[in-house]
Amino acid sequence: MSYFSAISKIQFEGPSSTNPFAFKHYNPDEKIGGKTMEETLRFAVAYWHTFTFEGNDSFGVGTMLRPWDHLSGMDQAKVRVEAAFEFFEKLDVPYFCFHDVDIAPEGNTLAETYKNLDEIVAMLKEYMKTSKTKLLWNTANNFTNPRWLHGAATAPNADIFAYAAAKVKKGLEMAKELGAENYVFWGGREGYETLLNTDMKLELDNLGRFFHMALDYAKEIGFTGQFLIEPKPKEPTKHQYDFDVATGLAFLQKYDLADHFKFNVEANHATLAGHTFEHELRTARINGMLGSVDANQGDMLLGWDTDEFPTDLYSTTLAMYEILLNGGLGSGGLNFDAKVRRGSFEAEDLFHAHIAGMDSFAIGLKVANRLLEDKVFEDFIAERYESYTKGIGLEIVQGKTNFHQLEQHALSLRDIRNTSGRHERLRAILNQYLLAEQLSSVQ
């Protein structure tokens, strides 16, 4: 049975191809900086946006036309699995990601939900035997059902905390069963609406306890995947506790969890927090905490998580620059936590969207690699901070000086010279590199 029969396997045809169902830049076997594109980029399809999302928004119902529309419940869930693996294969993507509720409907009881999950997990496992596509990560959706209206691990109600724990316990078992390389925590409703009814300290302490119990359970069952926190400042809650990487890091350090977690950095969450994508990646990277990426983009004119497919080449280039400096993503990957626009309702749009995203990151990888090879910014930065490699600067970084000596130094100064940061020149060089990539592509 084929669900996308009009579309055959997507091949790399090069930049001059006019075939909409071909990669123009993503060439999985091509080596960039010693590794194949496939090895570095580690693309993943997000089950929820691609197979579960119906195209609804807060003003309208679903618009998507999908081959499984005529079905419901477990029948629909099973067809989605079949279609998903056809999609993965046609796109030749190495990974996928899911929330528990994406793959199987919730039952009337928790036990029934488990039963539904078990059935689909067995089916996924069967498909994975013959497919190259592996599980990058899974997670628990502890935010959609009305029971989570006050949060999950940070809810004021201990029964809800227990229910959340049970779902994560099951999630870790599924992760182990399917060989997930990571397990993600995105605290969709782990935050607050108003401090007037909130015991913030207890909620945060409980979140810390929750993560420790999750780690204990992973150890108990021998799940060795990387634990990841996905920061987001708001939406659906007004204030989310894992606001951004820096806030998440302080939380992990305070609760003695920093050795066991890394971050899953999402582009659109970064911009919602008032940061650039590359700022969040940098903050995670310099703290040794960059684990994985939710690759999407927001819309600067809209104030919410629009989860668009990434096509902004500046953003993909600067993101890949951080990722290369990080030495890659380890067990993480680039997960398209992105959805087609509501008006792109045909099944073929799912292919167009992923091809666009994969090509955009492939370009980002090539340009970032050249920038690094030529040490474009590194040389400039090294020169900019040169004063710390000698004299008083060297003493500062070696911890060999104090305020008395620094005052002596300052008093002796006659002529302090600043140098230009050359912001605009550097932006122009970045443009040149991007354009050179484009030009060499069209030739």
Q: Which residues form the catalytic set?
A: 99, 102
Tell me which residue has tokens 């030749």: 92
Q: In a 10 Å sphere around its CB, with 0-12 CB exposed, 13-18 middle and 19+ buried, how is residue 134 labelled?
A: middle
Find the shortest distance in angstroms from Cβ 99 to ligand XLS.
6
Distances (CA, A) of 63 to 261, 263, 347: 38, 33, 11
Q: Taking CB within 5 to 8 Å according to partner kind, which of ligand XLS, Ni ion, none is near residue 139? A: ligand XLS
**Taking CB under 5 A as the rule, does residue 308 contact Ni ion?**
no
Query: DSSP strand E in 326-365: where?
Result: 334-336
Instruction: Determine the distance from the C-alpha atom of residue 7 to the mean position of all C-alpha atoms in its chain, rounded to a whole number.
Output: 28
Find the shortest distance in angstroms from Cβ 155 to ligand XLS.
17
For ligand XLS, give the closer residue by CB, 33 or 236. Answer: 236
Find the shortest distance in angstroms from Cβ 266 to ligand XLS.
5
Distances (CA, A) of 64 to 72, 91, 139, 297, 339: 15, 20, 24, 21, 11
For ligand XLS, give the closer residue by CB, 184 or 320. Answer: 184
Among 266, 278, 359, 437, which residue sits at the site for Ni ion (rule: CB under 5 A)?
266
Stretch that binds Ni ion, among 65-73, 305-313, 360-368, 428-436 (CB under 5 A): 305-313
**Taking CB under 5 A as the rule, does residue 244 contact Ni ion?**
no
Find the shortest distance in angstroms from Cβ 182 to ligand XLS.
12
**Taking CB under 5 A as the rule, does residue 305 contact Ni ion?**
yes
Closest residue to ligand XLS, based on beta-carbon distance? 186
For ligand XLS, give the closer residue by CB, 99 or 282. Answer: 99
Closest C-alpha to 230, from 279, 290, 189, 187 = 187
Residues that bind ligand XLS (CB under 6 A): 99, 139, 184, 186, 230, 232, 266, 294, 305, 337
Stretch that binds Ni ion, among 120-128, 191-199, 275-283, 289-297 (CB under 5 A): 289-297
Question: Which amino acid would we find at residue 73?
Answer: G
> What is the rounded CA–CA span in Å between residue 411 and residue 390?
19
Paired with 134 in beta bridges are 95
How many CB atoms lie under 10 A from the CB of residue 154? 27
For ligand XLS, give the closer residue by CB, 15 or 105. Answer: 105
> What is the rounded CA–CA span in Å between residue 128 and residue 131?
5
> What is the rounded CA–CA span in Å between residue 210 and residue 309?
33
Find the shortest distance in angstroms from Cβ 232 to ligand XLS.
6
C-beta separation of 92 from 142 below 8 A: no
C-beta separation of 123 from 78 below 8 A: yes
Among 100, 190, 278, 337, which residue sits at the site for Ni ion (rule: CB under 5 A)?
337
For ligand XLS, give the closer residue by CB, 12 or 309. Answer: 309
Find the shortest distance in angstroms from Cβ 261 to ligand XLS.
15
Q: Taking CB within 5 to 8 Å according to partner kind, which of Ni ion, ligand XLS, none is near residue 280? A: none
Paired with 424 in beta bridges are none
Q: Which residues bind Ni ion (CB under 5 A)?
A: 266, 294, 305, 337
